[in-house]
Amino acid sequence: MKLSKEEVKELFEQRTEEYLLNYNTTLQELKERTLKLFDEKNNPIILEKYLELIYGLNSDILEILEEKN
């Protein structure tokens, strides 16, 4: 069963909310906090971990889409 554009958007919103609820933040706030922490600590691992989170979110969404299609 192929998903509609609206279903894909809904899935993205749902998965994003699930991830961000764990951090009690919004995606923009998470990005800002990450950059602030990076400025304070000057540790590139901080940015790497943020990107891993975003990549993980994207991978989960793609996996779900592949299962439904």
Q: What is the pLDDT of residues 22-66, one digit of tens each?
A: 777 787 888 898 999 999 999 889 888 888 888 877 787 778 777
Report domain extents, the chain: 5-68
pLDDT at 17 exceeding the cut of 70: yes
Q: What is the 3-state secondary structure (H, E, C) of 5-66?
A: HHHHHHHHHHHHHHHHHHHCCCHHHHHHHHHHHHHHHCCHHHHHHHHHHHHHHHHHHHHHHH
Q: What is the pLDDT of residue 35?
A: 92
Amino acid making up residue 8: V
